[in-house]
Amino acid sequence: MSEITTIENGKVKLTFKLSAEDYTNALNAAYRRIGARYAMPGFRNGKAPRKMIERQYGDAAFWDKELDMAVEKACADAVAEHKLLPALAPEYSIVSYSETEGCEIEATLVLEPTVELGQYKGIEIPMQEYNVTDEMVDAELDKRRHDQARMVSVDDRPLQLGDTAVFDFAGFCDGEQFEGGTAEKYSMVIGSHQFIPGFEEQMVGMTIGEERDVNVTFPEKYQAEHLAGKPAVFKVKLHELSYEELPELNDEFASETSEFETLDELKADIRRELGEQAEKDRDLAFESAAVQKVIDNAKVEIHPELISAEAHAELHDLEHQLQAYGMDLKAYAEYMGSTVDELHERYHKMAGDQIKARTVIQAVIDAEKIEPEDRDYEAAVNAFSERAQGWDADKIAEELLPENRRKYAQSALYEAVIRLIKENAVIVKKEETAE
Residue 250 burial (10 A CB sphere; 0-12, 13-18, 19+)? exposed
The hierarchical CATH code for the domain 263-433 is: 1.10.3120
Q: How far is CA 98 from CA 19, 34, 94, in A?
A: 10, 21, 11
Q: What angle do CA 337, 222, 346 make, to 5 degrees?
A: 20
**Nearby residues of 177 by Cβ (< 8 Å), 6 or more positions away:** 170, 171
- Alpha-carbon distance values, 209 to 94, 157, 168, 189, 241 (Å): 80, 12, 11, 18, 10
Residues 352, 355: Cα–Cα separation, whole Å: 5
Q: Give the pLDDT score at 335.
A: 83
Predicted local distance difference test score (pLDDT) of residue 107: 97
Cα 11 from Cα 79, distance rounded (Å): 13
168 closest CA partner among 114, 101, 240: 240
- Say which CATH class 150-245 falls into: alpha beta
In three-state form (DSSP H/G/I as H, E/B as E, the rest C), the secondary structure along 190-214 is CCCCCCCCCHHHHHCCCCCCCEEEE
Q: How far apart are CA 55 and CA 60, in angstroms?
A: 10
CA distance 45 to 373: 63
Q: What is the pLDDT of residue 395?
A: 78
Q: Residue-wise over 97-134: b if at least 16 C-beta within 10 A, else e?
A: beeeebbebbbbbbbbbebeeeebeebebebbebebee
Fold of 3-112: Alpha-Beta Plaits (3.30.70)
Q: What is the pTM of this model?
A: 0.75
* Nearest alpha-carbon partner for 380 in 341, 411, 419, 356: 411
Count of beta carbons in the 10 Å neighbourhood of residue 149: 13
Domain ranges, ordered by start, for the chain:
3-112, 150-245, 263-433
Give pLDDT tens digits along the chain (435 positions).
Answer: 799 999 999 999 999 999 999 999 999 999 999 999 999 998 888 899 999 999 999 999 999 999 999 999 999 999 999 999 999 999 999 999 999 999 999 999 999 999 999 999 999 998 887 889 999 999 999 999 999 999 999 999 999 999 999 999 999 999 999 988 999 999 999 999 999 999 999 999 999 999 999 999 999 888 777 888 999 999 999 999 999 999 999 999 999 999 999 999 999 999 999 999 999 888 889 999 999 999 999 999 999 999 999 999 999 999 999 999 899 999 898 888 888 999 999 999 999 999 999 999 999 999 999 998 888 888 888 888 777 666 777 777 787 887 777 888 888 899 999 999 999 999 887 755 554
Q: What Cα–Cα distance (Å) separates residue 164 from each residue in 2, 199, 422?
A: 76, 14, 49
- What is the reported pLDDT for 72? 96
Neighbour count for residue 352 (Cβ, 10 Å): 19
What is the model's pLDDT at position 432? 54
Position 370: which residue type?
I
Positive/negative CA dihedral, 42, 47, 48, 49? negative
